Structure 1
């Protein structure tokens, strides 16, 4: 059994790590938001995807650590809920945007980037201030209010990206395996993307209503105080 002194030291190390993680993520998503806005204010020769690609790959994939944080008890979050939220974004970034050109065109990408970046700047800022002592009320209010508009926008952007990608995936047979093969296994990536789009039908309302419940707890408690 660890001594109280050792436990306190480990607790402080975890706290400092989480402070650093949330600070870096706040900066990272601020950079992505800046690049998104700057792209439309001063269009150049690069595409939107090429403009944000490096930052998006780094900071979105870094969010996989949040599943570890939840699973190890570093934060009080559901590992399953966290895993789904992170996985849906990682699939779009790595399995759709990296893999196809079609997903990078149209409204899907800018909608997703707009919703993701604003949401994450607010979310990580909340976590950062909570860890160092107190969260300004306006930031807490934004955390539990902006999702009402941003969540549907983000989901719409994600679905548009996946929908545009699935046609190209089908035509090129990306990441798919046909019989016969040495593994005696068949896999169709286009069908998987269809399945993922269908999953949004039951899961989006649940997560959306869950956030309303969290909003009532967080802001209702503040009002009662």
Structure 2
């Protein structure tokens, strides 16, 4: 890997880790202090743009900057875009649900671990405990995140139906249907990654 590419990826991952840490800390603090209905006003816009930055990962995959599979990257990023730019953007009242808070907590915990791990790994530092969390945390965080996303989408579809916006309700229903083949595919991908790294079946790539 060229030095320019390495520096870029270290900066990108470190910045992303810091941005998601803000989401994690603000969500947790606001949820405890004021309840789930206060989370969106406190961190909703920040989360939207932090997640938008993650759209660069699709470009990274297309251009070969990293070796992450394009389809799994596209599925994960696009599903989150459907939440922050679709469901919650058009129906912000659904963010008062505890599911919105649990979704952000799952996302942000995952991303703080993932981006920190990549930033350190690319810098030649590989803490074993952080590596274990990177490749094992999905067992808990993924089910929490996916169930929260689906519940938020369901609330958005219900809100659209109540407004007689059947086109938008139909689109949301289609998005929800993509989780049926998509979720197992992503989960299987993460299990393969874990077997490769934790199971010792090969050397882990130092790129995403």
1:206 aligns with 2:185: yes
Cα distance in 2, alignment partners of residues 53 and 127 from structure 1: 26
1:193: which partner in 2?
172
Indicate yes or no: 2:208 matched with 1:217: no
Is residue 90 of structure 2 the alignment partner of residue 108 of structure 1? no
Q: Distance in 1 between matches of 2:74 and 2:180?
A: 18
The runs of 5 or more residues in structure 1 that have no matched partner are 1-7, 177-187
Query: Following superposition, which runs of at least 4 residues in structure 1 exceed 3 angstroms of deviation?
Result: none
Coordinate RMSD, CA, aligned: 2.1
Aligned pair partner of 1:58 in 49, 69, 80: 49
User: Does 2:148 match 1:148?
Assistant: no
Q: TM-score, normalised by structure 2?
A: 0.90
Are the counterparts in 2 of residues 111 and 156 from structure 1 also a CA contact under 8 Å?
A: no
Larger radius of gyration: 1
2:126 is matched with 135
* CA 223–71 in structure 1, closer or farther in 2 if over 3 Å, else same: closer
- Secondary structure (helix, strand or coil) at the match of 1:74 reads coil
Aligned equivalents of 2:183, 2:112: Cα separation in 1: 21
Give the number of the structure with larger relative contact order, counting CA–CA contacts within 8 Å between residues 6 or more apart: 2
Tell me the TM-score normalized by structure 1. 0.84
1:118 equivalent in alignment to 2:73: no
- Are residues 209 and 106 of structure 1, via their aligned partners in 2, closer, same or farther at CA, if it must alter by over 3 Å? same
1:13 offset after TM fit, Å?
Answer: 1.9
Corresponding residue pairs, total: 203
Q: Quick one: distance in 1 between partners of 2:23 and 2:59? A: 24
What do the CA deviations read for 1:25-50 (whole angstroms, capped 9, x no partner)? 10111111110111133228x72101
The counterpart of 1:70, out of the listed 37, 61, 64, is: 61
| Structure 2, unaligned runs of 5 or more | 204-208
Q: Which of the residues 79, 82, 103 maps onto 1:91?
A: 82
How far has the Cα of 1:14 moved from its partner?
1.9
Shift of 1:222: 8.2
Q: Distance in 2 between matches of 1:200 and 1:107?
A: 21
Q: In the aligned structure 1, how far is the partner of 2:59 from the partner of 2:143?
A: 27
